[in-house]
A and B are shown apart, each in its own frame.
Chain A
Amino acid sequence: MGLLQGATELFPVSSLGHAVLVPSLLHWSFRQSDPSFVPFLVLLHLGTAGALLFIYRTQWVDIIKGFFAAALRGRIEKPSERLAMLLLVGTIPAGILGVFLEHELKSLFASPVAAASFLALNGFLMLGFEVLRRRAEKRAAIDAKTRVEQEESFAVAEQISFKAAALVGACQALALLPGISRSGVTIGGGLMAGLRHQEAARFSFLLATPIIAAAGVLEIPQLLASSVPLSEYLAAAVLAGTAAYLSARFLLRYFRSGRLDPYGWYCVAAGIASLALLTFRP
Chain B
Amino acid sequence: MALVVLAVVFVVVAGLYAVGALQFMVSDPHASHHYTHAILFAVLAVASLIGANFARAKGTA
Contacts and interface: CB of A to CB of B under 8 A. Distances in A.
Interface of A: 71-75, 85, 88, 91-92, 95-96, 99-100, 102-103, 214, 218
A71 B44 contact: no
Size bracket, chain B contacts: 10 to 19
Contact of B37 (A75, A85, A91, A99): A99
B53 A71 contact: yes
A100 B44 CA distance: 14
Interface string B29-49: 000000111011001100100
B54 A75 contact: yes
A102 B40 contact: no
Contacts, number: 34
Given A74-B53, A102-B27, A88 B36 contact: no
Nearest to B49: A71
Report whether over half of chain B's contact residues are helix, strand or loop; otherwise say mixed: helix
Could you say which of B53, B56, B61 has the most chain A C-beta atoms within 10 Å of its C-beta?
Answer: B53
B50 A71 contact: yes
Contact of A103 (B27, B47, B55, B56): B27
B23 to A, nearest CB: 13
Given A88-B47, A92-B47, A99 B40 contact: yes
A99 B26 CA distance: 8
B39 A214 contact: yes
Contacts of A73: 57
B1 interface: no
Given A71-B50, A218-B35, A95 B43 contact: yes
